[in-house]
Structure formats: C-alpha cells, structure tokens
Structure 1
Amino acid sequence: MLFASLVAAFFNLHPQLTKHLTGFNILWAQLLSVTTFTLTFFLNTSYTLWRTCYQHSRRLQGRLNDLGLLLASHSSREIPSNSTAADPLPATYSPAARQLLTLVGRYVRVFNLLVYASFTRSHRPLLTPRGMRRLVDRGLLTASERRALVEADVPATQRHNSLLLWVTRLVVEGRRAGHLVGGAGFEMAVLDKIHVIRCQYGAIGDALAGRMPLAYAHIVQVLVDVVLWLYPLMAFPSGMGAFLGVIGTGLLTMFYQGLFDLAKQFLDPYDNENYGQGDDPLCVDTLVAETNAGSVRWMNGFEEQPWEEEKVARGELEDVLLPRKGYSPAFLQQKAEEEALRAAEAAAAKPAGGAGGVLEAGRGRFGSC
C-alpha cells in the first residue's frame, strides 16, 4: 500500500505520463488471468498433498489398531484358579498371552514414534544417540533393544523397520507356542495388516519427497509479485482515484499473497519448514498420543470374556440370549410386580417359620415328660 501511495503521488505530480500507459490495463488483465489460474492450481495441488499425508497418517493409525484387535481376540485364555461352580469367573488372558500383548503394545508405541521421527523435524532428535538413550531412560526401550537398533546396518531414519520386524516375529513365535490361537487365515490377516502398515508409512515419505517441483513454486511467486507490483501502474492511469487505488492494492495483496502463503503451508503438512509458523499443521503429538492409547485399547477391552468356552462348545448359551428387541415396558412392569409379590410372600413366611421352629424345639425338649 505504501508503494501504491507513492505511485499515486507521482502521477498527481506528472499527469502527462499517464498517456504513455494507455492500454496497459489490457496487458495487466491478461497477466492476472494467468496468475489466477496458476495460483489456484498450485493451491489445489498443495491441499491434495496435505489431504494425502493426513489420510496416510490416519490409515497407519487404523492399521495399527487392527493389528491390536486381531492379537487380542486370538490370544489364549484361561479360567482363574479361584473360579467355582457357584461363583464362576470369566476367562482372562493366560499369563504368557498377556505378556505377549503387552510387549507388542510397547513395540507399536516405539515404532510409531520412530516413524514420525524419520520424516518430521520436530521429532528428529529422537534418532540421535542422546535421543535413543533418553528412550531407554524413560522406559520405552531396554538397553539391549537400543543397542540392537543403533548397531543395525541401516540408516537412523529407517530404524522403525526393525520394530515392525520385531512385532512380526513375535506374532510368529507366539502362534507357534500356542499363545495366539488361530489358523492360516489368522496368520494371513496379520501379515496383510503388517504389509499395509509398511505401505502407509512409506507412502508418507514418498509424498513428502515428491510434493512439488521447486521451479513451479518459484514461478507462482514471481507471477503473484509481478501482478501485485504492477497493479498501481494499471489502476491510476485508467482513471481510478487515489484512495480507491491504494485500498484496492491492499485488498489484492491480502487475497493473492494470502492464497500463496496458504498453499505453501499445505506443502508443509508436518510443519518441517515453518511455512505456517506452527499454525494448523498435522499435529504429530496428537497422532502419537492416539496411537499410544490404541496400542492397549483392544487388550484392555477384552480383559474378561463374558461367556464360557465350554458352553459355546455344548451350545448352552441360553443364559446370555436376550430378546432381539429387548424387554418391553409391560414386561418390565410385570417382572417388577412378580418380584414384589415374591418379596411379600417371603416376608410373610418368615415369622411363621420362626414360630414353628420354636414349637418344634419345645417338643424336643419336653417330649419325655
């Protein structure tokens, strides 16, 4: 707007120069149409990248949850030792299966953390020697696990692959030992989820690596700058007033430069280059926290099995079969009346039973007289 004010003052002092810019508005309009088309395409492509990274992050989180669901539902279970026929207790995880699920949950949390550390600048310090030692100090890794990750002949940004291999091997050994109950279909489903997990985090890195050629971003910036700088030179010779020309320059700059800044922010979905100054990126901390919660959600959600395995085998599930539409209000009222009647009968029978007991005791005591 300062530049527009200076141009307006210049043309007020030298009005004869406006005749040399006759028809410049036609050239500027053509340039504006090219700039608008290029800028909107750039914005749309940038937003597509943002949506792609978001979808891959959510799919990665979802497939990790699927893995936890499969392992929790196929873990071996046993009846607690203090369960009796009078007071049966629901089946729970066997100790070995619980240890397996707990270990897989921890590996999933570390895996997800190292995945985002591999392509986000905010979590990259975790891959340094000091960061890896800090993971041991905070109880996320053991010293031997850290040593295995650091000494592996892979780049630091690929250490999460080792965690995924550890999870896969745990599933294989757990199934072989009988801690995971399932046939070939279960194994195929688990391996498919692991393959999809590898595909999703690999797609995030690929999308960020090939997000946009730098030359395209440069040409869009040049077009926007040229259109905005030339606007006062088009407006004032065309007869536009000084006040309206200055205000128009400010509005045009705000919208066109704002769209360009928004496009650059979409090109940096994880805020690695501070295009958005930390405003509205894909929050990695939230994604990590949600995955951490999901790593134990399925194990905790199936802590107790509310039916007995033997009854399933014998087909004796009548005690857990309920009406498809539930109980009607009339049925509930009738049930309440029956319970009240039984309670009244029990209360009425209690004193009579007590008196009869006293008489019987009297007969027993004085029967020999």
Structure 2
Amino acid sequence: AYGFWLATKGNVRKVQGRLNDVGMLLAVHALRDGETGKLAPHSHELLEEIARWVRLYHMLFWANEVKPARGDRGASFSELHTERGMKGLLARNALTAREYALLVNNPALPQSQRHHAVLEWVLARFVHARRTGLLLGGVAMESRVLEECCKLRAVCASITDDKAARMPLSYVHLVQLLVDTLVALAPFALYPKLGVLSVMLSGCLAIFYRGFLELSKSFLDPFGNDDMLGVDAPENFDISCLLCETNAGSVRWLNGILELPFDTADAETK
C-alpha cells in the first residue's frame, strides 16, 4: 500500500515537472527583439496563452481524478466537469467562449477526456508557432517539446490506470477478515495465561492491528476518493496545493525571462 502511495506521489510530481519543462523550453525559444532582447508582442501573447492552457489542463485532469467525499473541506474539484463548473471557469477567464464551446458542445468528447483536448491545443499551438517563426530553435528543440508532452500524457495515464487497479479486492477483504478474527479471538486466547490483564492487552492489540489496517487502506486512496476514514487524512494529496503550485509555475518561466541581460543583435553579429 505504501509503495502504491509513493509511486503515485512520484507521478504527481512528474506531472508538474513536465508542465514546467514545457513552459521553460517555450520561454527560452520565443522570438525576441533583436536590439533589446525583450519578448516580441506576439511571442508574449503566445506564452501567456499556453500558460493559461497549462493551468486549464491541470485543473481538468484533477477534476477527472477526484470525486466528492465526506472529508472534503469544500466543494469537490470534480465539479469543474459539470456545467456549473465549466461556466465558472469561463467566468474567471480560465478559458474563452470558443474554447468552452469546443469542450462542452463536442458530443465525441466525454467529460473525462477534456484535458486531452487541451493538451492537443498546446501541441497544435506549438507547431503553428514554429511554422510562423514565433518560436526559434531547430529540430532538437521541437523534438524535446513533443517528447515532454508525450511524457506528460503517459504520466497522467499512469495515475489513472494505477488508481483503477491498485490491489485486488479479494486480498484487501482477506486481510480485513484476518485482522477482525485476530482481534475477536485475542481475549479468549490470552485470558488463560494473563487473566484480567488480557482485557487491556486485547485493547492494545485491537488499536495496533486495526490502526495499521486503516492506515494501509488510506495509502491505497491517496486522493480521498473512497472516503475510507471519513476525514481528510493527512497522507492524502492536497489537490488545491498542487493546483496552486502549477498555476504559479505556468508563468514562472515567462516572467523570469521577459528581457535578456545581453544584446542579442550584437551577439549574432559577433
């Protein structure tokens, strides 16, 4: 169970890493003014648009991975896939009216696949920017960006697949029966030798074994979807924190290199 939780944690961070890699590569290769080193206006618009799509992709992906639970401290992120949620994203300028129509009014695009469409927008915009000259760099740069996007898709798919096939239910049920049987029979087994002390020791055994069992089951539910404990367990991943980190990272590379500290025109001449 802990191995599954640890692997999921690694994949969650890989998603953020791939998104940051794409943002950094595009910001570095964006077209700039030859004299000032500042981003060209159209390049700046391109990077801002892709940053917005990165945020939208990340939100829609996690909206597909979580579901309402008693331990939620507020509204579930799964509501972003509802009509109300999509209209809320539209009202907050997370997507445009045209993008909203493409995601909502496409009968061939189920709710669970909307984030894939956004990733394809990013790739298509990248290819178009390369063709129009807004992004510089050779074949190696293009291959690297495409590779990072493919890795991103693969990691996201791994999170979904691993969550759907965490552990056979029969094994979990067997362990539950073994622990319940041990806890129920422990007082009768201990009483002949320990007498009254068996009452206290049986309680300790129950707390120990049942506690570890509940902890193990919570590790199998890192997003709190199954609501096993009925509370927001501390080992659950905080989706709001992940979204905040990715939202900040989507513009980190753009803002960090708005202007270069050297004259690009002189560098090219030399």
TM-score with structure 1 setting the length: 0.69
How far does residue 314 in structure 1 lie from its aligned partner after superposition? 4.2
After superposition, where does 1:179-328 map in structure 2 within 5 Å? Answer: 179-237=134-192, 239-242=193-196, 244-276=197-229, 277-280=231-234, 281-315=236-270
Q: Which residue identity does 1:240 align to in structure 2?
A: L
Match of 2:44 among 92, 98, 101: 98
Q: Which residue identity does 1:190 align to in structure 2?
A: V
CA distance in 2, matches of 1:313, 1:163: 36
Match of 1:140 among 88, 94, 109: 94
After superposition, where does 1:2-13 map in structure 2 within 5 Å? Answer: none
Match of 1:92, SS?
Answer: coil
Greater RCO, CA 8 A, separation 6+ = 2
Query: Larger radius of gyration, structure 1 or 2?
Result: 1
Of stretches 100-109 and 151-160 in structure 1, the one that deviates more from structure 2 is 151-160
- 2:119 counterpart of 1:164: yes
- 2:78 counterpart of 1:124: yes
CA distance in 2, matches of 1:188, 1:124: 34
How far does residue 183 in structure 1 lie from its aligned partner after superposition? 1.2
Q: How many residues align?
A: 259
How far does residue 151 in structure 1 lie from its aligned partner after superposition? 2.1
Match of 1:66 among 15, 18, 21: 21
How far does residue 79 in structure 1 lie from its aligned partner after superposition? 5.1
Task: Tell me the residue number matched to 1:30.
Answer: none
How far does residue 197 in structure 1 lie from its aligned partner after superposition? 0.5
Q: Which residue identity does 1:48 align to in structure 2?
A: G
Cα deviation, 1:82-119, whole Å, max 9, x if unaligned, reads xxxxxxxx421000000000000000000000000111
What are the ranges of 5 or more consecutive residues in structure 1 without an aligned counterpart?
Answer: 1-45, 81-89, 316-369
Structure 1 runs, 4 residues or longer, greater than 4 Å off = none
CA distance in 2, matches of 1:101, 1:136: 20
Task: Tell me the residue number matched to 1:174.
Answer: 129
CA distance in 2, matches of 1:171, 1:314: 28
Task: Tell me the residue number matched to 1:76.
Answer: 31
Cα deviation, 1:253-312, whole Å, max 9, x if unaligned, reads 111000000001001000112224211111111111101111000000001100011332
Match of 1:93, SS?
Answer: coil
- Alpha-carbon RMSD across the aligned residues, in angstroms, is 1.1
TM-score with structure 2 setting the length: 0.93
How far does residue 215 in structure 1 lie from its aligned partner after superposition? 1.1
Cα deviation, 1:329-369, whole Å, max 9, x if unaligned, reads xxxxxxxxxxxxxxxxxxxxxxxxxxxxxxxxxxxxxxxxx
Cα deviation, 1:137-178, whole Å, max 9, x if unaligned, reads 111111111110012212101100000000001100111111
CA distance in 2, matches of 1:181, 1:140: 27
What are the ranges of 5 or more consecutive residues in structure 2 without an aligned counterpart?
Answer: 68-75
CA distance in 2, matches of 1:109, 1:167: 11
CA distance in 2, matches of 1:264, 1:222: 14
